[in-house]
A and B are shown apart, each in its own frame.
Chain A
Amino acid sequence: MASGGPGSIHAPAPTAAPLVTAFGVTLLLAGLVTSAIVSVVGVVAFVVGAVGWFREVLPREHEEEVALEPAAAIAPSPHAVQRLAAGTARHRARLPVEVYPYSAGIKGGIAGGIAMAALAVVHGLLAHRSPWYTINLLAAAGSSAMTNAPEAALSQFDAQALLLAFAIHAVLSVLVGLLYGALLPMFPWHPAFWGGLVAPLMWTGLIAAALDVVNPALNARIEWGWFVATQIAFGLVAGLVVARSSRIATFQHAPLAVRSGIETQDDR
């Protein structure tokens, strides 16, 4: 599309050819369900449209001149730029400006996991006079033997179940801890509120909805009061450990060379 003379611009000329062609195709097909005559009309329209279309673009594209209109002017904005939590360099901050290191998340997960396990064992002792009870229930998520075990067997020590429960607990704790590390800097207010209370309550709701499928044995015997307590213990401890570790600034204020790990020389 070339520019026209001064005061005008060339644009493709309007044409009915595409409309006629489309009408032809539609009638051609509609003939299948109505009558052959419709198809014949369709073919005629299609040919007329197609010839018209070719003549619009061959040998030279058919264009018309459009007169220029006064253009909109873009004024400088009256609004000043606000910086979110100014960094070292002049840059618009992307949130979060600071994060916790991954290691804090892992540590938090381990600490939270220990707190949770301790509370669970205490619960086993108090309510069922056996420290193994809760452990065996957890193991039932991965062991059909445990899922179908009678009440009495759940209070007995079982090495395999202990190992299984430990693995499940350890992996989940570390993963959730990592999630905490990543999410906590994104939340306003004190981490204890979100990490200790809201998050455990939310995932307890989720577990309540899904436990039936994931761990039927646990679902049948669960005591929700204790369950919520252990979750909150995890959340509080993990959250505190994470929140107490020192934050590190993200790289966003650093120049590109530093961010991409290229060595540059200081001009000092």
Chain B
Amino acid sequence: MHRDADRPSVLAILHDWVVTVDHKRLGLMYIASGLVFFLVAGSEAAIMRIQLALPNNHFVSPQVFNRMMTLHGTTMVFFVGMPILLGFANYLVPLMVGARDMAFPRLNAFSFWMSLFGACLLYFSFLGAEGLYGGGTAPDVGWFAYAPLTARAFSRGNSTDYWTLSLLVSGIGSIGTAVNLLATTLCLRCPGMTLGKMPLFVWLNFVVACMILIVISPLTAAQIMLTLDRFLGAHFFDTQAGGSAVLWQHFFWIFGHPEVYVLILPGFAFASEIIPVFSRKVIFGYPFMVAASVSIGFISLGVWAHHMFTVGMTPAGNTFFAVSTMIVGVPTGIKVFNWLATIWGGKIRFATPMLFCIGFLFQFLCAGLTGIMLSVAPFDWQLSDSYFVVAHFHYVLIGGLLFTIFGAIYYWFPKATGRRLDETLGRWHFWLFVVGFNLTFAPLHFAGMIGMPRRIYTYQPGRGFELWNQLASAGVVFQAAAIVFFLWNVVRSLVRGAPAGADPWDAWTLEWSTSSPPPPYNFETLPVVRSRRPLWDLKHPDDPDWRYE
């Protein structure tokens, strides 16, 4: 890394970033690429919401709507959620365990580029799949790509292949990062940091890495089978030649459901770091939090077919998956109670990171309640593939994931840049987003209950859908405004934010013990840890934690 006194050229800076193997820079690149794709996928959502604001609207054609829906879902899950989360893990895990870098720095760079190139491949379909090389442009089969929609007969041209290959490429990247995180957590912890003293953030990302290893394999297998179907005339999912569409669903959801937890657990990880610091209390029930996280990981592997209640499984199958789904609610409930107990009686500081975490607790509770409702198979028979489901999972993904991501950005921005984000702008961002998000998705519960199916590009007037959809589309305006505040805040603070110092929040984990931004080697001498809050011990020599643990 060149740190010359005379100013390096833009090209030299760019070169530095492109060839870097430093986990912090890679983490930031992950997060930045995720944010860029967030704007893209958000615009796609806005297009869908404009189209649905009025009945019989002709803003976009049905084909374009399907493409927007597919790209929005795929991008949000694979190229927004995953990269941002893996980016935070990349940045923070080595710092939190007191290591100098990830276990395999070059594999780390490779993984990042794979996921970025995977995303590019998906969007390249706009150029490549029609015009140049045959019919169809962007994929239009939904992020779940149900068979037989993906069969050659129904999906001509190469659009579906772009989808498949893009997930294959980025999947390799995710597996690389997962291996790297596991190795880093297991092998590079600093002296004294036993498994029981790791921050919850590290624990949760450990569980996530295990889950990625387990669930990307069925996804990859399914993609390869689909590629064989489409290129070599195999018939795995071709229902007309004896293949099975339900087989695809099993493959897809055995990946797809745990994937939701791969996205949510890091959200839990952010909350578990932020809430105690801003409540000025130790996290309540650390061992229970760890146990609950591990069991969420396990149980979520056994619930996938709750996405398939309506394919007509046996009653025994339905019962099993309904019950196992409800059981995931238990460890999740434990975690929510532990966060509440951490807040309760604490000296709370309502800074922006904390606001987003409190928002998360509230929204995620709503999501959990509608989730338990949907896990009741007969209820799901009524509401499956209705807008109720769309409302539910956006409460999960936005309430659980996006809120905590925003919280995490406000919390760790000073560490990564040495400057703080502006609190006033942060508050605008928070409140506009809360209002906008609820205005968008709460009404959709009702639209779903009165029968509005999901994945439709328009609807007839007079069914009672208009009001709910107009409210929802109005909400998007607020959300967009919130994002404008956020981006403005980031840009402004990068240039002239208040200097942060090493430890702006008076926090307790190791990343705050090094300077902001941390030097390339993280720690000059590796730290030695005696409790779960090493920084507390240093700041309160008269009353350190290790006396009690």
Residues of A within 8 A of B (CB): 1, 9, 11-19, 21-23, 25-26, 29-30, 32-35, 53, 56-57, 64, 66-72, 74-77, 79, 81-82, 84, 91-92, 94-95, 186
Which residues in B have some Cβ–Cβ distance to A below 8 Å? 1, 3, 16, 18-22, 100-101, 105-110, 113-114, 117-118, 120-121, 124, 128-129, 132-133, 158, 161-162, 165, 168-169, 172-173, 227, 231, 282, 284-285, 341, 344-345, 347, 501-503, 506, 513-516, 519-521, 524, 535, 538-541, 543, 548
A32–B129 alpha-carbon span in the complex (Å): 11
Picked from A13, A19, A22, A33, the residue with its CB within 8 Å of the CB of B128 is A33
Residues of B within 8 A of A79 (CB): 506
Complex: chain A residue closest to B162, CB-CB: A33
Q: Which of A12, A70, A76, A186 contacts B21 (CB 8 A)?
A: A12
Residue pair A11, B101 in contact (C-beta under 8 Å): yes
Question: What A residues does B539 contact at CB under 8 A?
Answer: 74-77
| Residues in chain A near residue B520, CB distance under 8 A | 11, 66
- Chain B residues with CB under 8 Å of A81's CB are 540, 543
A-B contacts, 8 of them at CB < 8 A, read: A9-B521, A12-B101, A29-B165, A33-B128, A72-B516, A74-B538, A77-B539, A91-B548
B101 and A71 contacting across the interface, CB-CB below 8 Å: no
Q: Do B524 and A9 touch (CB < 8 A)? A: yes
Known A-B contacts A1-B101, A74-B513; A30 and B345 likewise in contact (beta carbons under 8 Å): no
CA distance A35 to B132 in the complex (A): 10
Instruction: Establish whether residues B524 and A94, one from each chain, have CB atoms under 8 Å apart when the complex forms.
Output: no
Give Cα distance in the complex from A19 to B108, angstroms.
10
With A15-B19, A15-B21, A18-B107 known as contacts, the answer to whether A72 contacts B513 (CB < 8 A) is: yes
Q: Is the pair A14, B548 in contact by a Cβ cutoff of 8 Å?
A: no
Complex partner residue of A56 from B3, B106, B121, B521, CB under 8 angstroms: B106
Closest to B230 in A: A32
Residue in contact with B519 in the complex, picked from A14, A16, A66, CB distance below 8 Å: A66
In the complex, residue of chain B having the shortest beta-carbon distance to the beta carbon of A91? B548
Question: Are B113 and A66 in contact (CB-based, < 8 A)?
Answer: no
Chain B hits for A17, CB < 8 A: 106
Having A16-B18, A23-B117, A30-B124, one finds 13 other A-B pairs with CB under 8 Å, namely A1-B101, A14-B16, A22-B110, A68-B524, A70-B515, A71-B519, A72-B514, A72-B515, A74-B513, A74-B535, A76-B538, A76-B539, A95-B341
The chain B residue with its CB closest to the CB of A73 is B502
Interface SS of A by simple majority? loop
Contacts of B341 in A (CB 8 A): 95, 186
Rounded to whole Å, the gap between the CB of B99 and the closest CB of chain A is 9
The listed residue with most A CB atoms (<10 A of its CB), out of B1, B107, B132, B501, is: B1
A18 touches B117 (CB 8 A): no
Residues of A within 8 A of B285 (CB): 94
> Is the CB–CB distance between A92 and B548 below 8 Å?
yes
Take A19-B18, A77-B540 as given contacts and tell me if A33 and B129 are in contact as well, using a CB distance cutoff of 8 Å: yes
Q: Given A11-B22, A71-B515 in contact, is the A92-B282 Cβ separation under 8 Å?
A: yes
Instruction: Return chain A residues, CB-CB under 8 Å to B100.
Output: 1, 9, 11
Query: Which residue on chain B has the smallest CB distance to residue A1?
Result: B100
A32 to B161, CA, bound (A): 8
Complex: A133 Cα to B128 Cα, angstroms? 73
Whether A77 touches B506, Cβ cut-off 8 Å, given contacts A18-B109, A22-B117, A84-B345, is: yes
**Judging by beta carbons under 8 Å apart, are A66 and B1 in contact?**
yes
CB distance B548 to A66 under 8 Å?
Answer: no
- Which residue from chain B places its CB closest to the CB of A83 in the assembled complex? B543
Residues of B within 8 A of A91 (CB): 548
Whether A68 lies near B519 (C-beta < 8 A) is: yes
Pairwise interchain contact B521-A71, C-beta atoms closer than 8 A:
no
B165 touches A33 (CB 8 A): yes
Contacts of A15 in B (CB 8 A): 19, 21, 106, 109
A173 to chain B, nearest CB (A): 23
- A34–B101 Cα distance when bound, in Å, is 38
CB proximity of B98 to chain A, nearest CB, Å: 13
A25 in contact with B21 given A18-B110, A33-B129, A74-B513 (CB within 8 Å): no
CA distance A91 to B546 in the complex (A): 11
B345, A72: Cβ atoms closer than 8 Å: no
Q: Which of B117, B506, B538 has the most CB atoms of chain A within a 10 A radius of its CB?
A: B117
Other-chain contact of A67, B3, B107, B158, B506 (Cβ < 8 Å) = B3
Residue on B with the closest CB to A15? B19
Contacts of B169 in A (CB 8 A): 25-26, 29
List chain B residues, Cβ under 8 A from A70.
515
How many whole Å from A141's CB to the nearest CB in chain B?
A: 17
From the candidates A14, A34, A94, name the one contacting B1 in the complex (CB within 8 A): A14
- Return chain B residues, CB-CB under 8 Å to A84: 345
